[in-house]
């Protein structure tokens, strides 16, 4: 349904146990493979080099694809490096001691945990900021927050659309999740309005700099 609506990026992972279904959906969509950007992630049990190669091949096989566009280590673990949920310090340690700098850091980012410092650091280092859990998993009444509701009403949009547009205007890549077709469509339709500077500032004021999840 998401591909039919117009989404062209899918985020999956070995630990989600749905790579096979993702691959089937891409094939059934009839879209050219190169038109869909596919991300998957290596789980922590496979962080040794040889295990990582096998884990990657396993994901390719499950997906039924010839390549993966973006491959992430799922989380920081032990003494191994990853590029999901990495602090600025841990990420800097990674690229100072390795030849290739990570392309993406996927971190929890939403109105209550805005990652302003991380965003500035990533931009300065040329690393893409990608947001997971943009709706804070529904915590702290995010969908009934009065500031977000007022902004949504002003634009005739949902609170979810406002959050996604706010992240988009910040230059943050976002991966919203829904199993309902109406919300999948709603989350996609964020390009026909723009938040004002005052509205962006009002949302910025919601930052608590900590995770409610």
pLDDT number for residue 57: 97
Number of continuous H segments (helices) and E segments (strands) in the chain = 9, 6
Judged against a pLDDT cut of 80, whether residue 76 lies above it is answered with no
**pLDDT tens by residue, 150-196:** 999 999 999 999 999 999 999 999 999 999 999 999 999 999 999 99
**Residue 81 annotated to the active site:** no
pLDDT number for residue 79: 55
pLDDT number for residue 156: 97
Q: Is 40 helix (H, G, I), strand (E, B) or coil?
A: strand
Q: What percent of the chain has pLDDT over 70?
A: 97
pLDDT number for residue 87: 86
Residues 177, 20: Cα–Cα separation, whole Å: 18
* Residue 68 pLDDT level (bands cut at 50, 70, 90): very high
Number of neighbouring beta carbons within 10 Å of residue 117: 11
Q: Return the higher-pLDDT residue of 44 and 59.
A: 59
Here the tokens at position 56 are 């990657």
Mean pLDDT of 57-84: 85
Residues 63, 200: Cα–Cα separation, whole Å: 39
Here the tokens at position 86 are 């990495």
Of the candidates 16, 47, 71, 77, the residue annotated as catalytic is 16
pLDDT number for residue 101: 86
> DSSP per residue over 144-213, as a string?
G-HHHHHHHHHHT--HHHHHHHHHHHTT-EE----S-HHHHHHHH--SS----HHHHHHHHTT--SS---
- Euclidean distance between the first and the last CA atom of the chain, given in angstroms as a whole number: 28
Here the tokens at position 139 are 């915590």
pLDDT number for residue 83: 66
Phi, psi values for residue 11, rounded to 5°: -110, 120
**pLDDT tens by residue, 115-147:** 999 999 999 999 999 999 999 999 999 999 999
């Amino acid at each position: 349904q998401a591909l039919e609506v117009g989404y062209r990026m899918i985020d999956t992972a070995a630990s989600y146990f749905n790579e096979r279904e993702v691959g089937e959906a891409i094939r059934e969509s009839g879209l050219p493979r190169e038109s869909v950007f596919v991300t998957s992630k290596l789980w922590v049990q496979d962080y040794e080099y040889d295990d990582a190669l096998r884990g990657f091949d396993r994901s390719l096989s499950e997906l039924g694809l010839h390549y993966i566009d973006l491959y992430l280590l799922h989380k920081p673990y032990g003494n191994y490096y990853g590029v999901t949920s990495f602090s600025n310090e841990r990420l800097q340690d990674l690229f100072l001691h390795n030849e290739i700098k990570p392309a993406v850091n996927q971190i929890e980012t939403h109105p209550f945990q805005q990652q302003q410092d991380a965003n500035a650091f990533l931009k300065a280092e040329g690393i893409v900021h990608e947001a997971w859990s943009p709706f804070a998993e529904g915590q702290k009444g995010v969908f009934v927050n009065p500031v977000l509701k007022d902004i949504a009403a002003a634009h005739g949009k949902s609170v979810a659309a406002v959050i996604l547009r706010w992240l988009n205007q910040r230059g943050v890549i976002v991966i919203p999740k829904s199993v309902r077709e109406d919300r999948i469509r709603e989350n996609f339709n964020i390009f026909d309005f723009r938040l004002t500077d005052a509205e962006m500032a009002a949302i910025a004021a919601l930052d608590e700099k900590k995770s409610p999840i």
